[in-house]
Structure formats: structure tokens, C-alpha cells
């Protein structure tokens, strides 16, 4: 038997070579890190939930015409994705002040922003993903002005759509991070949504109580991480077959 090739090993995901040309397999681990790897733990069941939640959100986005790298879910922890050239940016959208914005600008967490704000961070672990401007991005060629234009348009559509989708589930989409890639189809290139969309990279607050249903529970040692992620899946009307003890049998709510 041949062992499949690891293409990239990330903190929460591993990418393997795909089953078809131009594809990769994205495997969701249970590992959680915060502070650029300073804090580490394993949260049993997290990978299964993120695989399922990201599948659902990417599929819904594809339904409104947002191009994504997602092809199909393969099993509890893996999904088939199109191989793209990742643009080295973390694109953060904020609707409500929280996290690093609150710290940096002294705005109390939970303050609604006058309008949605997009920020860019240069994806570079060695540098701790520094905050950068459009000027840096185009000057250093990480993305062209045309790429950035596409990225902004897609990001605004994703934010509008997901804000509504989550609100319908009683959840406030406070902020989130997106990544984009270049997908080559013959001689043409398109910018597509890549990576994942899950409680690992979104801030999701209960719309009524303000209860945190996202990775801040891990970052801030609040406990109940899997319970919170399960609650998000439950409210979205999706639940993975089984979250803990993956062979306990199916509990499918759909």
C-alpha cells in the first residue's frame, strides 16, 4: 500500500495530495492553537465539526455564486478541494469591535462598528502575521490591484450573506477571517475562496445572550469549546454523524 503524500501540514489542518488531478484532500485535525502556536491543545471532535460547518457554509456561498475551492466532503474529517495558489493574506472582516481591534484601538468589545471594516494581515508565521495595507500588498506583489478588487467584492458578499445566515440561526457574526487562492483553468485565473469557514476563524456570539460560540472559548480558557461548536452546527441545522468517539454510530440531524 502506498502512503499518500502530505502537501502541507498546518496547525489545524493537513493537506494531502488529491484523488483527482488539480485537487487536494483537506484533513481537519482536533489540534487548536492560539497566539501563533504559543498555546496548544487537542479538542476532541473539533475537526469533525469544522469539516461539516465549513462544508455547509462553502456550499451555501457557492449557491449564491461565490466561487470556492470546495468540491465535496469525503468523510468525517476530510474534504476534497481544488488546488489553488494561496494568496498570502488573511482578510479579516469586522462588524463589531472585538479581539485585536479592541486592543489596538481601545474600542470596547461588543461596540457595533459604523460600517463593516476589512483588514489585511500578511500570512507569515515568522513575523506573527503583521497588519498590512493595500499599499504593501500591491507594492510587494502579494496580490495585484485587480486581485484585490475581486477579493474585496467577494469579501463584502460573503459578509452580507453569512451575517444574514447566522442571524437566522440566532448568532451574531462579529468578525471572521477569509483566505483566497488563485485557481487556474487553462489560461484563465480566478480568485476563489479557500481555507475554511468555521468557529475557528469566526467570532460568533449568541444574538440574545452574547454567549461566545467560537474559538475565543479556547483562546480565553473559557472551556466548553466542543459544546459551543456543536451548538453552532445544531443551530445551522447540521450535525456531524458523531462528534466524539467517531465510531459511536450516526446521529444525523438534517
By CB under 6 A, name the binding residues for ligand UDP.
Answer: 90, 92, 98-101, 129, 175-177, 201-203, 215
* CB of 99 vs ligand UDP, minimal distance in Å: 2
Q: Whose Cβ is closer to ligand UDP: residue 18's or residue 201's? A: 201
Going by C-alpha positions, the residue among 230, 227, 166, 175 that lies closest to residue 201 is 175
CB 71 within 8 A of CB 80: yes
* CB of 170 vs ligand UDP, minimal distance in Å: 18
Q: Whose Cβ is closer to ligand UDP: residue 101's or residue 213's? A: 101
Q: Whose Cβ is closer to ligand UDP: residue 84's or residue 197's? A: 197
Q: Whose Cβ is closer to ligand UDP: residue 150's or residue 195's? A: 195
Which grid cell is 141? 506583489
Classified as helix, coil or strand, 164 is helix
CB 250 within 8 A of CB 241: yes
* CB of 104 vs ligand UDP, minimal distance in Å: 9
Residue 251 to residue 125: CA distance in whole angstroms:
38
* CB of 36 vs ligand UDP, minimal distance in Å: 7
The residue of the chain with the least Cβ separation from ligand UDP equals 99
Q: Whose Cβ is closer to ligand UDP: residue 30's or residue 129's? A: 129
* CB of 215 vs ligand UDP, minimal distance in Å: 6
Residue for cell digits 448568532? 171
6 burial (CB, 10 Å; 0-12 / 13-18 / 19+) is exposed
Where residue 62 falls (left for φ over 0; alpha for ψ -120 to 50; beta otherwise) is alpha
Length of the chain: 254
Q: Whose Cβ is closer to ligand UDP: residue 119's or residue 134's? A: 119
Residue for cell digits 447566522? 166
Phi and psi torsions of 103, nearest 5°: -65, -50
CB 46 within 8 A of CB 229: yes
173 burial (CB, 10 Å; 0-12 / 13-18 / 19+) is buried
* CB of 98 vs ligand UDP, minimal distance in Å: 6
* CB of 220 vs ligand UDP, minimal distance in Å: 10
Q: Whose Cβ is closer to ligand UDP: residue 60's or residue 102's? A: 102
Amino acid at each position: 500500500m502506498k502512503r499518500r503524500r502530505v502537501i502541507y501540514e498546518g496547525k489545524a489542518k493537513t493537506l494531502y495530495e488529491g484523488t483527482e488531478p488539480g485537487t487536494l484532500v483537506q484533513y481537519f485535525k482536533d489540534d487548536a492553537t492560539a497566539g501563533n502556536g504559543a498555546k496548544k491543545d487537542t479538542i476532541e471532535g473539533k475537526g469533525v465539526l469544522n469539516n461539516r460547518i465549513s462544508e455547509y457554509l462553502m456550499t451555501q456561498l457557492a449557491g449564491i455564486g461565490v466561487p470556492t475551492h470546495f468540491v465535496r466532503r469525503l468523510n468525517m474529517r476530510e474534504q476534497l478541494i481544488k488546488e489553488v495558489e494561496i494568496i498570502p493574506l488573511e482578510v479579516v472582516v469586522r462588524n463589531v469591535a472585538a479581539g485585536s481591534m479592541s486592543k489596538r484601538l481601545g474600542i470596547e468589545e461588543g461596540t457595533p462598528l459604523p460600517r463593516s471594516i476589512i483588514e489585511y494581515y500578511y500570512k507569515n508565521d515568522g513575523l506573527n502575521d503583521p497588519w498590512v495595507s493595500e499599499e504593501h500588498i500591491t507594492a510587494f506583489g502579494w496580490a495585484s490591484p485587480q486581485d484585490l478588487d475581486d477579493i474585496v467584492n467577494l469579501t463584502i458578499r460573503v459578509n452580507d450573506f453569512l451575517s444574514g445566515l447566522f442571524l437566522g440561526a440566532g448568532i451574531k457574526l462579529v468578525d471572521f477571517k477569509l483566505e483566497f487562492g488563485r485557481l487556474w483553468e487553462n489560461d484563465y485565473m480566478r480568485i476563489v475562496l479557500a481555507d475554511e469557514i468555521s468557529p475557528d476563524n469566526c467570532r460568533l456570539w449568541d444574538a440574545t445572550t452574547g454567549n461566545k460560540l467560537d474559538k475565543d472559548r479556547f483562546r480565553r480558557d473559557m472551556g466548553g469549546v466542543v459544546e459551543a461548536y456543536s451548538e453552532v452546527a445544531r443551530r445551522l441545522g447540521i450535525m456531524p454523524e458523531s462528534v466524539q468517539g467517531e465510531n459511536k454510530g450516526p446521529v444525523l440531524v438534517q
